[in-house]
Chain A
Amino acid sequence: MRLFVHQLRGEQRLFWRSRELAFFTFLFPVILFTLLGSVYGDDTIRKEGGIKASAYLLAGLIGYGAIATAFAGLSIVLVIRRESGVLKRVRGTPLPPSTYVAASLGSTTIVYLIEVVILIVLARLLYDVPVPDHPSQWVSLVLAVLLGVLSFAALGLALTGAIRSDEGASAVVNAIFFPVAFLAGAFWSARTFPGPVEAISDVLPLTYLIRLMRDILIFDESIWENWQSVAVVAGWGLLGLVLAVRFFRWTPREG
């Protein structure tokens, strides 16, 4: 536990010191929310039960934050650390690998939780979206946040095994993560997309995380009422975990 806390603090310091990470994974969703909300936040989305787009965008960008922070940010950082030899160096110390990974996930969770709170506050201030007002709603929200972080982090860890070089990391990750965010309806409801596109959307884990966030934050449902969404996100997470255990590497590619 002492080691975990020590490493977690190290990871936090590393995250906030890296301007690129802090910007793209942390500030970018906030900027997007403000921009998109100011453009079409007042529209209503008929296919989402007639809610205002600004409220929908809150759920959408919380979902976007999960994939940006836990999937994209984490996998790029870990590929860079692996290829530069940092992970190999860490493996040469008594720090258990499991503690290293746990601290990395813990740090990502902290960042994402702060992000979610900022988005909720922003939604309230800018667009009058109500803040969760009773403890059970907050419990559902925190559980959904953990589900999102862990599932997307597992997928991110799995992805590192498929990326061969640190130069390629951003390109590969962005090529996956931007289309997925769009198709899953991070910026506008996927239910308004044409049939074939919606069909793709229907298998993506992010679609279900956004739906879960919408149901908890906007429709005031508990996470337990939405077990189908939870199951899809967790299922993808488990698949990621299996692949991560199989393909995650600590040492750089042989020169």
Chain B
Amino acid sequence: MSAVTVKDLRKAYGSHEAVGGIDFEIAAGEVFGLLGPNGAGKTTTVEILEGYRERDEGAVAVLGQDPQTADREWRARIGIVLQSSAMYPNLTAAESLALFAGYYERPLDVDQVIELVGLGEKRGARVRTLSGGQKRRLDLGLGLIGDPEVLFLDEPTTGFDPAARRAAWEVIRSLRELGKTILLTTHYLDEAESLADRVAVLRDGKIVALGKPAELTGAAPATEIHYRRDGQDVVVTTHEPTRALHELTAEALAEGRELEGLTVRRPTLEEVYLALTGGEEAE
């Protein structure tokens, strides 16, 4: 059974259509990435799945229930890391986790979660003294403390330095090994590429591409063949790279020429993404 099902989901704020009819499913145990620039509809989609917002149209199920009418038992089975939300500044990291652990029937062990998110040295530090990255790791810990089956991560590493991002990725990978279903939103391509089993690219509230990261780079824009002829750069773009390359090399061989600076390159996910999202800068 799918952990998350979304069918023709629509949500408008006034006349602005934030989500304009999207469909996707997330299998149990899968890490699914929602990728897109700011304002593409990622947070609206996730907050509908978390039960914070009401949809206008479409059908949504998380763990078989409609988030809009779901009960406490359902809440105990999902974990939420919001894009931005503070915590009580005067509690320590460990006290924060213990407070939230008390809300669940079968929470994880506080010490275990502290180790998992890498806050071991900060367990006794007040939340207000933590750095941005440390607070974000506490957010992740608070999302995990109830031992959820489905975890929603809304831009979990935005604002991290590269080292902190790598550390957070490791945490997310270890969660995946624990069998958690994870819905991750991000505007970082490399994050989606290295963490997600499948990625949906959102643009203006619509899914413009959906598949494994490798499939996305394999589809859409064509392969480019670069070489120089008479000092001029020549670029051949093709959807049939084998044939094109064969014809080029056959012709060159027949004429006794060298294809100088010959390179064949497949588009990176970044180029796919930029093409799909209308060239908007990915931050």
Could you tell me the distance between the alpha carbons of A84 and B103 in the complex, rounded to whole angstroms?
A: 20
Closest to B95 in A: A13
Residues of A contacting B76 with CB < 8 Å?
94
User: Which one of B51, B86, B100 has the highest number of Cβ atoms from chain A below 10 Å of its Cβ?
Assistant: B86
Contact with A along B67-82 (1 / 0, CB 8 A): 0000011011010101
Nearest CB of A to B78, in Å: 8
Residues of B contacting A81 with CB < 8 Å?
88
Could you tell me the distance between the alpha carbons of A17 and B92 in the complex, rounded to whole angstroms?
A: 11
Binding site for A on B (CB under 8 A): 50-52, 72-73, 75-76, 78, 80, 82, 84-88, 90-91, 95, 99-100, 102-105, 142, 146
A88 within 8 A of partner (CB): yes
Residues of A contacting B99 with CB < 8 Å?
6, 10
Given contacts A88-B52, A93-B75, A96-B72, contact A18 B102 (CB under 8 A): no
Residues of B contacting A17 with CB < 8 Å?
90-91
Binding site for B on A (CB under 8 A): 3, 6-7, 10, 13-14, 17-18, 81, 84-86, 88-89, 91-96, 251
The one of B75, B90, B91 in contact with A92, judged by C-beta atoms closer than 8 angstroms, is B75
Given contacts A94-B75, A251-B52, contact A3 B85 (CB under 8 A): no
A-B contact pairs, 6 of them (CB 8 A): A6-B103, A14-B91, A86-B88, A88-B82, A93-B75, A93-B146
Q: Does B80 lie within 8 Å of A92, measured CB to CB?
A: yes
Could you tell me the distance between the alpha carbons of A145 and B88 in the complex, rounded to whole angstroms?
A: 28
Q: Does B82 lie within 8 Å of A6, measured CB to CB?
A: no
Instruction: Other than A14-B88, A88-B52, give 9 A-B pairs with Cβ distance below 8 A.
Output: A6-B103, A10-B99, A14-B90, A17-B91, A18-B90, A81-B88, A94-B73, A96-B72, A251-B52
Q: Does A92 lie within 8 Å of B82, measured CB to CB?
A: yes
Nearest CB of A to B136, in Å: 13
Q: Does B87 lie within 8 Å of A94, measured CB to CB?
A: no
Closest to A100 in B: B103
Could you tell me the distance between the alpha carbons of A94 and B91 in the complex, rounded to whole angstroms?
A: 20
Q: Does A89 lie within 8 Å of B142, measured CB to CB?
A: yes
Closest to B105 in A: A94
Could you tell me the distance between the alpha carbons of A84 and B84 in the complex, rounded to whole angstroms?
A: 8
Closest to B100 in A: A93
Closest to B85 in A: A85
Q: Does A94 lie within 8 Å of B82, measured CB to CB?
A: no
Residues of A contacting B84 with CB < 8 Å?
85
Closest to A84 in B: B86
Q: Does B82 lie within 8 Å of A85, measured CB to CB?
A: yes
Nearest CB of A to B92, in Å: 10
List of 10 A-B pairs having minimum Cβ-Cβ separation, nearest first: A85-B85, A84-B86, A17-B90, A92-B80, A6-B102, A95-B103, A94-B75, A94-B76, A93-B103, A94-B72
Residues of B contacting A18 with CB < 8 Å?
90
Could you tell me the distance between the alpha carbons of A91 and B85 in the complex, rounded to whole angstroms?
A: 12
Nearest CB of A to B46, in Å: 11
The one of B50, B75, B103 in contact with A3, judged by C-beta atoms closer than 8 angstroms, is B103
Q: Does B85 lie within 8 Å of A84, measured CB to CB?
A: yes
Nearest CB of A to B42, in Å: 15
Could you tell me the distance between the alpha carbons of A14 and B103 in the complex, rounded to whole angstroms?
A: 17
Nearest CB of B to A132, in Å: 35
Residues of A contacting B146 with CB < 8 Å?
93-94
Residues of B contacting A3 with CB < 8 Å?
102-103
Given contacts A94-B75, A251-B52, contact A88 B95 (CB under 8 A): no
Residues of B contacting A6 with CB < 8 Å?
99, 102-103
Nearest CB of A to B54, in Å: 12
Residues of B contacting A84 with CB < 8 Å?
85-86
Could you tell me the distance between the alpha carbons of A161 and B78 in the complex, rounded to whole angstroms?
A: 29
Closest to B99 in A: A10
Given contacts A10-B99, A13-B91, A13-B95, contact A88 B104 (CB under 8 A): no
Residues of B contacting A251 with CB < 8 Å?
52
Nearest CB of B to A85, in Å: 3
Given contacts A13-B95, A14-B90, A88-B52, contact A94 B85 (CB under 8 A): no
Nearest CB of A to B205, in Å: 17
Q: Does B103 lie within 8 Å of A89, measured CB to CB?
A: no
Could you tell me the distance between the alpha carbons of A13 and B127 in the complex, rounded to whole angstroms?
A: 14
